[in-house]
Amino acid sequence: MITFFNGIGACSIGIHVLLEEAGADFENRIIDLANREQFSPDYRAANPKGKVPAILREDGSLVTEFPAIALWIGHTYPEARMLPADFEGQLRVIEIMDYMVSSIHMRGFTFIFAPMKFHPDDPSAQEALRAHGRDQVKIGLDNLSETLGDKDWLLGDFTVAEGALFYMTRWCHQHGIEMPDNIRDHHQRMIARPAVQRALRADGLATPEKSGLAA
C-alpha cells in the first residue's frame, strides 16, 4: 500500500482528491504542520524536504512536488482517465499545474498566509507582502478563468490539474478570497463529486466554512 503524507488544510488536499478519484489504496498519514511535525526527525527521514504532499510508493521510493505526484497518479491509475494519452495533452496538464503551484501558490497564497516568514519583525512589510500576494492570486485566477472559459474542466476533460485548482479554490472559499464566477463554479462542481467529498470528510474539511460542503 502507498503512504500519502498529508497536512490538514494544506495544498495536499488536491492530491488526496486525486487519490480518491483514482480509487487508490493508500494510508492517509497526517503530518501535523501546525505543531511543526514536518521538521521532526521521523518525517525528515522519510522526506528531507519537510513538506507535504509526498507519496511513499510500494517500492519504497518517495515522490514529492505536487505536479510530479499528480503526474504519477494519472499515469499509475489509467482507468481513472485523468491524464491525456498524448504528449501534447500531458504537456498542457504539466504546464497549467506548474503555473498554479509555482506562481499562484508560491508567489501568491504563500505571501497572503505567511508574510511573517519573510518579514518576522516588520508588520508594515508583512502587510505590503500580503497585498502583493493578493494581487498575484487575482492575476493567476483571472488567467485560469480565461483558460477555463465556459468548459467544465480546465483543459476540457477532467484531468489531474483539477486537484491543483481545487486546493486553491478551497483556500479562497475558506479565507473569503474573491474568485471569478467560472472558477467558483469549478469549485462547486468539485465538491459535488463523491471522491472529493470522501477526501474532505477524511480530513475534517467537510463544513460550510472550510469547503462549502455540508458536514
Ligand X SMILES: N[C@@H](CCC(=O)N[C@@H](CS)C(=O)NCC(=O)O)C(=O)O
Which residues of the shown chain bind ligand X in the complex (CB under 6 A)? 7, 10-11, 33, 38, 50-53, 65-66, 101
Taking the least distance from each CB to ligand X, the nearer of 61 and 124 is 61
Q: Which amino acid is at 74?
A: G
Query: Least distance to ligand X from the beta carbon of 97, Å?
Result: 9
Q: Which is nearer to ligand X, 3 or 182 (CB)?
A: 3
> Are 115 and 133 within 8 A, CB to CB?
yes
Return d(Cα 63, Cα 57) in angstroms, integer: 8
Per the rule left: phi > 0, alpha: psi between -120 and 50, beta: everything else, 129 is: alpha
Nearer to ligand X, 102 or 146 (CB): 102
Distance in Å, CB of 79 to ligand X, minimum: 25
Q: How far is the CB of 140 from ligand X (least distance, A)?
A: 15
Name the residue type at position 33.
L
Nearer of residues 22 and 100 to ligand X, judged by Cβ: 100
Which CB atom, from 50 or from 180, has the smaller least distance to ligand X?
50
User: Closest separation between CB of residue 150 and ligand X, Å?
Assistant: 29
Long-range contacts of 40-43 (CB under 8 A, 24+ apart): 43/5
**Grid cell at residue 82:** 485523468
Shortest distance, position 89 Cβ to ligand X, whole Å? 21
Return the number of the residue (86 or 159) whose C-beta is nearest ligand X: 159
Angle, in degrees to the nearest 10, between helices 66-76 and 13-22: 0
Return d(Cα 184, Cα 13) in angstroms, integer: 17
Percentages helix, strand, coil for the chain, rounded to the nearest 5? 60, 10, 30
The minimum distance between CB 138 and ligand X, in angstroms, equals 20
* Measured torsion, CA atoms of residues 178, 70, 28, 110, in degrees rounded to the nearest 10: -40
